């Protein structure tokens, strides 16, 4: 098993978090809904993901493990298509990932709200572009077999 938990509801997820991660998670969640009021929130991999057309971002507290040990502290705010976001200031981290980029926050003071909101708004634009592209793709016609 890759994870240390399995939540059936968002409330169960929040109840599991230590106080410091809970405060950061709830604050980040508030920012997401300010920026994307029509976002759908769902638990995937036992953490909240936010989407409109496709997954846009997620909030991953460090106490929700992926694997057997904790690899960072605080709360990770990730962008599913981070590789498509302009990141001139080098705000986001990518490690060895190709697509998902993120920023870790240890406490509320570390969150630059205006900068994070700018990235979220940019991620919404990327989501809209990706949705338009998938609409333009021609549907594959059924393969006709010769008899």
Backbone angles phi, psi at 130, to 5 degrees: -65, -35
The enclosing domain of 67 has a CATH number of 3.90.1150.200
pLDDT of residue 70 exceeding 90? no
Residue 145 is assigned to a structural domain of this protein: no
User: Which single residue is written with the structure tokens 């508030």?
Assistant: 30
Cα–Cα distance between 47 and 145 in angstroms, integer? 46
Residue 5 is assigned to a structural domain of this protein: no
pLDDT band at 111; cut points 50, 70, 90 = very high
pTM, entire model: 0.86
Residue 2 is assigned to a structural domain of this protein: no
Residue 4 is assigned to a structural domain of this protein: no
Q: What pLDDT was estimated at residue 66?
A: 79
What does DSSP assign to residue 115? H
Report pLDDT digits (tens) over 125-140: 999 998 887 766 555 5
Report pLDDT digits (tens) over 14-33: 999 999 999 999 999 999 99
Residue 110 pairs with which residues in a beta bridge? none
**What is the percent of the chain where pLDDT is above 70?**
88
Quote the domain boundaries for residue 87. Answer: 10-136
Residue 22 is assigned to a structural domain of this protein: yes
Residue 119 is assigned to a structural domain of this protein: yes
């Amino acid at each position: 098993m890759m994870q240390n938990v399995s939540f059936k509801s968002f409330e169960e997820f929040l109840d599991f978090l230590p106080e410091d991660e809970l405060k950061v998670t709830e604050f980040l969640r508030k920012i997401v809904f300010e920026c994307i009021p029509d976002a759908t929130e769902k638990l995937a991999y036992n953490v909240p993901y936010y989407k409109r057309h496709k997954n846009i971002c997620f909030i991953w507290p460090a106490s929700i493990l992926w694997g057997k040990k904790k690899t960072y502290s605080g709360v990770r705010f990730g962008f599913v298509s981070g590789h498509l976001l302009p990141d001139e200031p080098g705000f986001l981290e990518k490690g060895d990932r190709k697509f998902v980029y993120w920023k870790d926050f240890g406490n509320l003071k570390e969150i630059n709200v205006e900068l994070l909101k700018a990235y979220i708004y940019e991620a919404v634009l990327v989501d809209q572009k990706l949705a338009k592209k998938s609409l333009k793709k021609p549907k594959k016609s059924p393969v006709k077999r010769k008899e």
